[in-house]
């Protein structure tokens, strides 16, 4: 099942008998995933974050910070708290980073 939230693609998969989760073909194609690819998996509370090892930055700590930010944003989306920016508002927000 496929859905879109704020330009993010959402797919639903299920856990197989041996603990395997299938990543849908569209996502594998979009992210150029290949057979045998390695992933890092993190858990926090009841969330799982998966990132391709080949796309990790040289500093794993930066990646973990990015993943933490993504987790916070997902929480806001789930609560309906995300907001839209105009181009000008977005640029101003980026300057504050």
pLDDT digits (tens, 9 = 90+) for 43-76: 877 888 888 888 876 667 676 777 778 878 777 7
Tell me: the pLDDT tens digits for 20-51? 998 989 889 988 999 999 888 878 778 888 88
Q: For 36, phi and psi rounded to 5 degrees?
A: 85, 0
Same domain, 78 and 96: yes
Please tell me the distance from the alpha carbon of residue 94 to that of residue 36, in angstroms, as a whole number.
Answer: 37
Same domain? For 33 and 44 the reply is no
Q: Token pair 């509370």 is at which residue?
A: 45
Number of domains in the chain: 2
C-alpha dihedral sign at 88, 90, 94, 97: positive
Q: Show Cβ contacts of residue 84 under 8 Å, excluding neighbours closer than 6 positions.
A: none
Q: Do residues 49 and 71 touch, judged by C-beta distance below 8 A?
A: yes
Residues 69 and 93 occupy one common structural domain: yes
Would you give the distance in Å from CA 1 to the centre of its chain? Answer: 17
- pLDDT tier for residue 18 given thresholds of 50, 70 and 90: very high
| Residues 50 and 24 placed together within one structural domain of the fold | no
> Which domain, by its residues, includes 86?
38-97
In the numeric block, which tokens belong to residue 31? 């992210």
| Residues facing residue 40 across a β-bridge | 51
Residues 42, 3 share a domain: no
């Amino acid at each position: 099942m496929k859905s879109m939230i704020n330009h993010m693609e959402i797919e639903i998969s299920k856990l197989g008998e041996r603990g395997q989760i299938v990543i849908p073909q569209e996502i594998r194609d979009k992210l150029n995933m290949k057979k045998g690819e390695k992933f890092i998996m993190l858990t926090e509370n009841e969330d799982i974050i998966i990132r391709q090892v080949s796309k990790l930055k040289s500093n794993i700590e930066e990646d973990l910070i990015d993943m933490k930010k993504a987790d916070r944003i997902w929480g806001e989306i789930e609560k309906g708290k995300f907001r839209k920016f105009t181009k000008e508002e977005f640029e101003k927000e980026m300057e504050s980073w």
